[in-house]
Amino acid sequence: MSERPVEFGDRGGWCLARGRPHPALRPFLRSYDGYWETESVPSRMRTLPTRTTVVILNLGPPLHLEVPDPGVRDRAYGSFVAGMHDGHGMYLSPGGQRGIQLDVTPLGAYTLLGVPMARLTNAAAELPDLLGREARTLVERLADARTWGARFAVLDAFLLRRLDAGPVPDREVARAWRLLDGDPSLPVADLADVGWSRKHLTHRFREQAGLPPKVMARVLRFQRAVGLLRGGAGPAEAAFACGYYDQAHLNRDFRALAGCTPTELVGGPPEPRSVSAPAGASA
């Protein structure tokens, strides 16, 4: 098993190791993102709705999840999967984080994990609860590997096996995802292919992608607005470019999805990209 090439970097107390997955996996995830914290400093990290399912292969201490929903019990997680969300949360870290993050497209996660993504909507699950013993073996092999390139090679082999064995998304669901990802403003009726009703598409899309098409479109639009704002656009400009009715509409969406205003999100200190990776912008 040959090692994967690795690029190294550092950012604000974190060291980074990034590798490219095998070409057969790249339609589903762009990179393997290794990280380790140089100091054991406790921290709280905001989580935002993203266009990906997040897989954390944890080689350090557990993370504790806080969510604003009082009906969801807080708990600590080791290696876990965070499904598609349409709201924000918070992770508490004791410091000393170390692991690998995978940002996987919703339909890629459906195939690679082999479970209906609706099971993980607005939720997280321990990886062994989804994949059993092979998940524990994977994390053990990653921990035992001596280099990041060797770890990424282990991931290649593991995910390629999962890709061969996993379920294939419905053609109609895959088509709807491509259309929505390209233009979140499309009406759901325009996503339904010949022979599928809107109701049937909505049911199958939620099962395989994790969110209904209309909610997924809202998350995708929010993410684009976050990207524009972090790139220097003003709220009014971002609202217009992303198809919000006006700036007030954008502000309401940010409060619902991020728990804060656009100015509070972008104007504050840099936050981790999604769950625990040490990137400089929210996912």
Mean pLDDT of 222-241: 93
Q: How confident is the model at residue 5 (pLDDT cuts 50, 70, 90)?
A: confident
- What's the rounded Cα separation, in Å, for the pair 77 and 126? 7
For residue 92, what pLDDT is reported?
85
Q: Hey, what are 65's tokens?
A: 């999840």
The span from the CA of 121 to the CA of 132, in Å, is 20
Q: How far is CA 174 from the centre of its chain?
A: 18
CA dist 155 and 147 (Å) reads 13
pLDDT tens-digit map of 8-61: 998 878 899 999 999 999 999 999 999 999 887 888 888 899 999 999 999 999
Q: What's the rounded mean pLDDT across residues 58-81?
A: 77
Q: Show the tokens assigned to 41.
A: 């400093």
Output phi, psi for 218, to 5 deg.
-65, -40
DSSP secondary structure string for all residues of 5-53: P-EEEEETTEEEEEEPPPGGGTTT-S-EEEEEESS---EEEEE---SSE
pLDDT tens column, 131-143: 999 999 999 999 9
Amino acid identity for residue 92 in this structure: L
Give 71's pLDDT tier (boundaries 50, 70, 90): low
